[in-house]
Structure 1
C-alpha cells in the first residue's frame, strides 16, 4: 500500500465550488528544519504553528517509540493526518508533531463480516483503490458507508478524531461505522479499544480531537457496494423538510441541498438544488459518457462563486439538472477533487484581489426549524455584509455513543463557507459573524461543530456542549501530564481555567 496512488475518479460532491483538481495525488508535506517547522491547515490557512520537530511513523511500533521519546524529553505531542481541520486541532507550538500520513497500510480484510483493518493515516482514495482491486470480479463487493465531502486527501484517523459525517440521509456520524481501533496512550502503551474493551475511551477518542492518544489502526465497518440513481430538483427551502422525509421513506440513501448564496436575490438562502440518490438494480448500466463538468468547469465555478454569485448558481443548477437520472456507484459518488491552490482561481476571477481563504462553520437545527433559521440567517447576512461563497444542508441521525457528541439529536446540518480576507480586521469580523451564526442555531434548539474554528464564546460552548468541562477533566485523568496537546486544546483549557 505504501506505493498505491489514488484513482483519478470524478466524484461530484455538492460542496462544488471547491471541487476541481490540478493533480491526481494528495499533498506531500515538508519535514525537517533545524529550528522547527511551521505547519498550517490546508483550507483556511489561518493556523500557522511552529512545531519543534516532525516525525513520520510507519507502524504502531514507531508511534510507541515516538511517544516514549517525547515522555523522556518532557515534550508534548500533536498529531495530524490530512491537515484540513481548521480549528488548530492538529498543531501545537513547540510540540513533537506526528505526521501519520505514512501509516497507510491495509492490514486485514474480513470478507465475511465486511470489516477492513487499516492504519489510521490511510486516506479515502487509497482505501477505496485497495477494496476495488482486492474484490475485482467478485459480487457482491464491500465498500465504505460514508466519508467527508469536498476532499479525499483526508485520513481515517482524522475522520474518527472529528467524528465526521457524509451525505447519508439516514446515518449517524462515523462512530456508527467503527468496530474497534488501536490507541497508543500517553505512556506509550498500546490499547485495544472498542465498545466492549476500554469502552469509555471508545466514546472519548472518537470526536476527541487527538487528546487521548494516537489512533494507529482502525477496524472500519463496510457496506455492500450499490448502484444509485441521482434525482435532482431545484426546490424552495420551505419544501425541503417534507421532501427529505419522503425521500428517506422511499429508501433513498444519500443527498444534500445546495442553496443560493446571492444576497441580492429575493430568494437568498431560500432556493437550492436538492440532489438525492436511490438504489437501483445492480444490472443497471453506468454510462461512461455521463455528464461531467470537468476541471475547467469547476475552476470557472469557484471563480464565479466569488465574483458573480447569480451566474454561479445558474451554472451549477443547470449542470446538475442535466445529471438527473445518471447512475453512480455508492462509493465513487462520494469522492471529490480538491485543489489546495484554489486561491489561484479566485485571484483570476476577481478584479480586485485580496489575499484570503475560505472558512467553514457548520451548525445544526431540528429539521422542522430549518426554514425559520435560514430566514433569520438571510436577514443577518444582509445586515452584516457576510460574504457567503457556498452553503449546503445535509441530514444526520442522533449520535448516542460519543462523549462530545455534536449530533445530540436528529438534525439538519447547515454548512456556511465564508470568504475571509487575511487582515486583522476581516478575521475579527469573521469571528463575530460566526458567533452570530452559532447564536441563531442555539436559539432554534440547535448546536454547532467544534472542528472548523475555535471562535465560539464560552457561553456558546457550554450551551451546545454542557459536558465540555467534564471532557477536559477526563482528558487530564487519562493524560495527567498533558502529553497530547494542540492549539485547540490550549485555547479551551484557558477558556475553562476559571469556574
Structure 2
C-alpha cells in the first residue's frame, strides 16, 4: 500500500473532523493485552522449586497435611486461575532450563517454567524460533499450555499444536510421559485445564527456522474481513496475522487494520537480531483510555504516520513484552475478554458488539482485535471445536465495586449473545460468567471433572476458578 505524503496539519484535521480511517497496525496497540490479576488471593505460602524433585517434596507435604496446591506461571491470568486461598502456591518460574535441542527434528525440550522470551533468546543461537506462542513473550510455556493459549501464527495455532510431548507430575508423585499416541487421555487433560489435573514439568515443542519476515498492513472494511481472510490464506508465505477493529467512536467497527507478516525464507543472522523493532510505549495506550479525541484520531494518525511496513526476524515479531501495556491510571484497571465465533457469525457479532458498547457507559473499550483460530483437537475444553474467529477486547474501567458489578452484568449479557451464536468465551479472565453460562459454553466440563478424579485422586490441585464453578 502506498502512503500519501500528508502534512501533520492535514492529518490532525482529518482525525478531528472526520476520523474516517481505521489506521493500520500501530504497533502500540497489538492485542491481546494483559493486566495484573483482578482477584485477591492469599495462599498460605509460595514456593519456587527449581527441579522436579523439589516439586515432588512439595506435593508430598501437601498430601500429608491435606493442603490444596495451586500452580503459578507468569501470573497474568485475571480470575484467580493460579491461586487458591490458604493453598501452597507453586511458582514454576525457577524451572526454566533448556534441556535439549534436536536440530534434525526441529524440536526443543524445555522445563515448563521457562518464558517464551528466554526460549527465543536461546533458540536464536541455533537459528531457530518458536512455532507458536502467545502474542507477548513474558508468559511461561507451561502456563500457555495450561490456558490453551493461541497466538498470531496462522499455521501453528493453538499453541498446543506445536507440542510433541509433555512430562506431567501427578499429585500422587508419579511422573507420566504424555503425547498424542502415548497416554493421550492425560495429554488432552492437562491442556487448557488451568493446572487442575496435573503439573506440567517439561515440554517438547516443534520449532521453526528464525527467518526474516516482511510486515505489511492493509486497511479494509470490517464487513469484508471473512472474504479477505479466505483469500489471504491462499498465500503460503503468510506466517503471522491479526486484524484490529476501529474504536473510533464516530465510526466504531466500520473498518479494520490488518497486520500480516510474510515469511521471506531468508535465514536471520546475528546482525539482524541486533536491531530490535520499536516496541510500544505504555504512555500512548494509557492516553487512549482517558481521551475521546485520542480514540477518534488514533486510527488516522496510525495510518498516515505511525505504522510502517518493515522487515524483522520471526523472534523479533513475536518478542513484544506486556510491560508496554502497563496501566498508569490510578484508580482504574484493565480487563481482557475474548470470544470465539463461527466464521459466519463474525459480522453479526461485530454488529451486536457495537450496540453493546453503545449501551454500556461504565467502561472504555480501548482495543478490539480479530484473530483466526484453527480447530482445537488437543484440549479437553476446546474454545474452538471447529475453526473460529476470536474477538479480543481490552477494556478499562474504574477500580471500584460499582464499576466491577456493572462490568459483570454487561459481560454476562455479551456471553449470552455469543452463546446464541454457537460461540464460546475464554476462561483465563475475570470470573464474570454464571455457572449456567460456563456449562453451556463448555459442555465438556463433565469430562474435566472425570479427568480430575482420575489423575488428582487426592483433590489437591485447586484454584479460585475451580472453587467458584465446581
Q: TM-score range by the shorter chain?
A: 0.7 to 0.9
Residue 59 in structure 1 maps to residue 44 in structure 2:
no
* Counterpart-to-counterpart distance in 2, 1:206 and 1:80: 15
* Counterpart-to-counterpart distance in 2, 1:477 and 1:17: 37
Residue 47 in structure 1 maps to residue 39 in structure 2:
yes
* Counterpart-to-counterpart distance in 2, 1:283 and 1:78: 41
Q: Which residue matches 1:383?
A: 359
2:160 to 162, 175, 178: 175
* Counterpart-to-counterpart distance in 1, 2:52 and 2:370: 38
2:114 to 90, 114, 122: 122
Map of 1:34-183 to 2, 5 A cutoff?
A: 43-133=35-125, 135=126, 141-149=127-135, 151-183=136-168
Map of 1:85-484 to 2, 5 A cutoff?
A: 85-133=77-125, 135=126, 141-149=127-135, 151-251=136-236, 252-262=238-248, 264-265=249-250, 267-282=251-266, 296=281, 298-307=282-291, 308-319=294-305, 321=307, 323-324=308-309, 326-339=310-323, 342-344=326-328, 346=329, 355-385=331-361, 386-484=363-461
* Counterpart-to-counterpart distance in 2, 1:64 and 1:284: 41
* Counterpart-to-counterpart distance in 2, 1:292 and 1:375: 35
* Counterpart-to-counterpart distance in 2, 1:116 and 1:401: 20
Counting matched residue pairs gives 441
Question: Does the Cα contact within 8 Å between 2:380 and 2:447 map onto a contact in 1?
Answer: no
Residue 101 of structure 1: how far off its partner (Å): 0.7
Per-residue CA shift, 1:224-243, capped at 9, x if unaligned?
A: 22222112112110111111
- Name the SS of the counterpart of 1:169 in structure 2: coil
Runs of 5+ consecutive residues of structure 1 not aligned to the other structure: 1-10, 20-41, 136-140, 348-354, 494-499
Question: Does the Cα contact within 8 Å between 1:115 and 1:220 map onto a contact in 2?
Answer: yes
Question: Does the Cα contact within 8 Å between 1:160 and 1:207 map onto a contact in 2?
Answer: yes
Quickly say closer, same or farther: Cα 1:222–1:284, change in 2 above 3 A: closer
* Counterpart-to-counterpart distance in 1, 2:268 and 2:140: 32
* Counterpart-to-counterpart distance in 2, 1:51 and 1:292: 39
What TM-score do the two structures reach when normalised by structure 2? 0.88
Runs of 5+ consecutive residues of structure 2 not aligned to the other structure: 1-24
* Counterpart-to-counterpart distance in 2, 1:475 and 1:373: 34
* Counterpart-to-counterpart distance in 2, 1:421 and 1:215: 36
Relative contact order: is structure 1 or structure 2 higher (C-alpha 8 Å, sep ≥ 6)?
A: 2
Question: Does the Cα contact within 8 Å between 2:146 and 2:191 map onto a contact in 1?
Answer: yes
- Name the SS of the counterpart of 2:334 in structure 1: strand
Per-residue CA shift, 1:442-471, capped at 9, x if unaligned?
A: 222211111122211223222221111231
Residue 475 of structure 1: how far off its partner (Å): 1.1
Residue 18 of structure 1: how far off its partner (Å): 8.7
* Counterpart-to-counterpart distance in 2, 1:272 and 1:66: 49
Per-residue CA shift, 1:264-322, capped at 9, x if unaligned?
A: 31x202212111111224179998999965655x522431243231133333333454x
Q: Which residue matches 2:10?
A: none
* Counterpart-to-counterpart distance in 1, 2:279 and 2:124: 24
Residue 15 of structure 1: how far off its partner (Å): 4.1
Residue 250 of structure 1: how far off its partner (Å): 1.3
Quickly say closer, same or farther: Cα 1:477–1:281, change in 2 above 3 A: closer
Quickly say closer, same or farther: Cα 1:310–1:200, change in 2 above 3 A: same
Instruction: Report the more deviating stretch, 250-259 or 74-83.
Output: 250-259
What TM-score do the two structures reach when normalised by structure 1? 0.83
